[in-house]
């Protein structure tokens, strides 16, 4: 006799397993622990199988019969209801996982794998770019993102005239989506090709003095600099070495061997000195020191050698001088932003030496190695930096002598 709601409400389990039949194969299984489970036995492919519909009273008698009828309909169409239920459960798990893998979640996972390869300033910039993307698409599952979704997050920035940021957003979105595709979170990269549809960025070169007479005038002005002594020495040393500002400013005495005339700038430094955090490319860089540079460092050592930093700030021995301090020094000497910048010392080095490489007998690769521009081939990069060391020592000494010649030409 079919079960009724009244029978089920009054049903008590005595701890003995039992089956209470309803109709058309549906029954209520009483477990030893007191559970009341809806089940249905059926045959498919010559095998006896059992289908579970849930527990009473969460699943009512009416719902259990409805599930039984649906299962019987599937059997009538030669479909195994148990296999379909298992497949549906797997699909639900996948769907839930895809829903949880939002752009913001994947971006955080990607960033965690990459942050050690970025300098401190670049870490902050990447965080900012990711936050801008998250404002628009952060909550969207990455598997559902389209190129239009990502473009909609970039277009407002582009429309505001911030083209460099717009291209940075496209690049960052592409890095995250490529990571997602590789990890199997999505089947294609929706950010692929986005930079091609953005307005191009007009390259702005750093202002730099490259005319020999102007360079000589600059060097004489640096010699007569009346500001901070530490800033003055940084400005005097910078032209000889062609280092990036952060690489120079964050220098530690422990990195420099004046007897061997060699400074090994590490790939990374402790982040306690503003942005003087090591090499931009995160690869250690050996810098030969000319006799002029060694002399200046020995003089500087008398001022700051008792501390860790070569160029400590005025208000803290644990923080190096800032890039703005160097820039203000250049402005204080009367050079406008259209004439000279801090980065301009590298541009000066590169421009003049590339013009003189044939005359002086140096290969362009030697110049690039000194500038620590990253080789695409990591093995060749390491080989070049090691094998070019003595050549770079010759180059820097020739360069230092040349600067002294320009300084002397009034």
Show which residues are catalytic.
244, 280, 343, 346, 373, 383
The Cα-based distances of 119 to 39, 101, 114, 373, 377 in angstroms read 61, 28, 11, 15, 21
Name the token pair of 369: 């190695």
- SS (HEC) of the chain: CCCCHHHHHHCCCCCCCEEEECCCCEEEEECCCCCEEEEEEEEECCEEEEEEEEECCCCCHHHHHHHHHHHHHHHHCCCCHHHHHHHHHHHHHHHHHHHHCEHHHHHHHHHHHHHHHCCHHHHHHHHHHHHHHHHHHCCCEHHHCCHHHHHHHHHHHHHCCCHHHHHHHHHHHHHHHHHHHHCCCCCCCCCCCHHHHCCCCCCCCCCCCCCHHHHHHHHHHHHCCCCCHHHHHHHHHHHHHCCCHHHHHCCEHHHEECCCCEEEECCCCCCCCCCCCCCCCCCCEEEECCHHHHHHHHHHHHHHCCCCECCECCCCCCCECCHHHHHHHHHHCCCCCCCCCCCHHHHHHHHHHHHHHHHHCCCHHHHHHHHCCCCCCHHHHHHHHHHCHHHHHHHHHHHHHHHHHHHHCC
CB atoms within 10 A of CB 257: 12
* CA contacts within 13 A on the Cβ side of 254: 5
Contact (Cβ atoms closer than 8 angstroms) between residue 240 and residue 396: yes
């Amino acid at each position: 006799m079919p079960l009724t709601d009244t029978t089920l409400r009054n049903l008590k389990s005595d701890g003995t397993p039992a089956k209470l039949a309803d109709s058309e194969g549906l029954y209520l299984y009483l477990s030893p622990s007191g559970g009341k489970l809806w089940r249905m036995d059926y045959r498919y492919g010559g095998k006896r199988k059992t289908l579970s519909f849930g527990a009473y009273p969460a699943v009512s008698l009416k719902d259990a019969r409805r599930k039984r009828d649906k299962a019987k309909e599937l059997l009538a169409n030669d479909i195994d209801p148990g296999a379909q239920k298992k497949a549906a459960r797997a699909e639900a798990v996948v769907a839930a996982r895809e829903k949880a893998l939002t752009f913001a979640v994947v971006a955080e996972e990607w960033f965690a794998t990459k942050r050690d390869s970025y300098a401190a300033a670049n870490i902050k910039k990447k965080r900012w770019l990711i936050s801008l993307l998250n404002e628009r698409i952060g909550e969207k599952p990455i598997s559902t993102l389209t190129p239009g979704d990502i473009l909609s997050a970039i277009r407002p920035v582009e429309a505001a005239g911030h083209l460099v940021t717009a291209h940075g957003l496209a690049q960052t979105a592409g890095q995250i989506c490529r990571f997602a595709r590789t990890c199997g979170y999505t089947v294609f990269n929706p950010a692929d090709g986005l930079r091609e549809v953005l307005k191009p960025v007009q390259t702005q070169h750093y202002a730099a003095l490259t005319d020999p007479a102007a360079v000589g005038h600059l060097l004489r002005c640096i010699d007569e600099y009346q500001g901070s002594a530490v800033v003055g020495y940084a400005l005097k040393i910078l032209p000889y070495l062609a280092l990036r500002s952060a690489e120079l400013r964050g220098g530690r005495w422990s990195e420099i061997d004046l007897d061997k005339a060699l400074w090994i700038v590490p790939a990374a430094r402790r982040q306690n000195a503003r942005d003087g955090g090591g090499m931009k490319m995160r690869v250690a860089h050996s810098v030969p020191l000319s006799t002029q540079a060694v002399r200046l460092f020995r003089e500087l050592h008398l001022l700051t050698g008792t501390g860790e930093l070569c160029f400590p700030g005025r208000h803290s021995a644990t923080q190096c001088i800032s890039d703005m301090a160097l820039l203000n020094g250049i402005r204080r000497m009367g050079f406008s932003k259209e004439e000279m910048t801090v980065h301009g010392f590298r541009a000066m080095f590169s421009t003049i030496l590339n013009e003189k490489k044939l005359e002086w007998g140096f290969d362009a690769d030697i110049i690039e190695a000194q500038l620590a521009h990253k080789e695409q081939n990591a093995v060749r990069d390491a080989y070049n930096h090691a094998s070019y060391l003595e050549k770079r020592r010759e180059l820097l000494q020739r360069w230092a002598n040349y600067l002294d010649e320009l300084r002397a030409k009034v």
